[in-house]
């Protein structure tokens, strides 16, 4: 994916399943950045991932409103998740910091 114009690779992926929910957390090679989201098994199409959260050394940023992250889930089975996304996340700090990170070219293809 590209974050604020810089290409990033999130190669380490942790997947947890609880009932019909899939929780995904991906980390950069040095673990300084993570991105996480959740989805429901077997649901495909637009707007099927939620609770998108991006963490870096400076803080935690999340999808504030529906539509901030646009996604398309192409494959969503009990053992595979594949799709694309783009959009933005904002700071969740209450100190007035409104820092925004823009995502483009986001994709995931996970066998678990």
pLDDT digits (tens, 9 = 90+) for 6-20: 999 999 999 999 999
On the question of pLDDT at 102 being above 80, the answer is yes
For position 9, what pLDDT does the model report? 95
pLDDT band at 106 (very low <50, low <70, confident <90, very high): very high
pLDDT digits (tens, 9 = 90+) for 41-94: 999 999 999 999 999 988 899 998 878 999 999 999 999 999 999 999 998 775
Residues 73/83, Cβ–Cβ less than 8 Å: yes
On the question of pLDDT at 96 being above 80, the answer is no
6 contact partners, CB below 8 Å, separation of at least 6: none
- The total of other beta-carbon atoms located within 10 Å of residue 14's CB is 12
């Amino acid at each position: 994916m590209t974050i604020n114009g810089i290409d990033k690779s999130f190669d380490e992926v942790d997947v947890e399943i609880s009932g019909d929910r899939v929780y995904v957390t991906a980390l950069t090679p040095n673990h300084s950045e993570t991105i996480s989201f959740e989805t429901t098994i077997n649901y495909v199409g637009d707007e099927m991932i939620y609770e998108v959260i991006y963490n870096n050394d400076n803080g935690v940023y999340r999808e504030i409103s529906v539509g901030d992250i646009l996604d398309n889930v192409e494959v969503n089975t009990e053992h595979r998740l594949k799709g694309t996304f783009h959009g933005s996340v904002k700071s969740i700090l209450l100190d007035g910091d409104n820092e925004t990170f823009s995502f483009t070219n986001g994709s995931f293809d996970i066998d678990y």
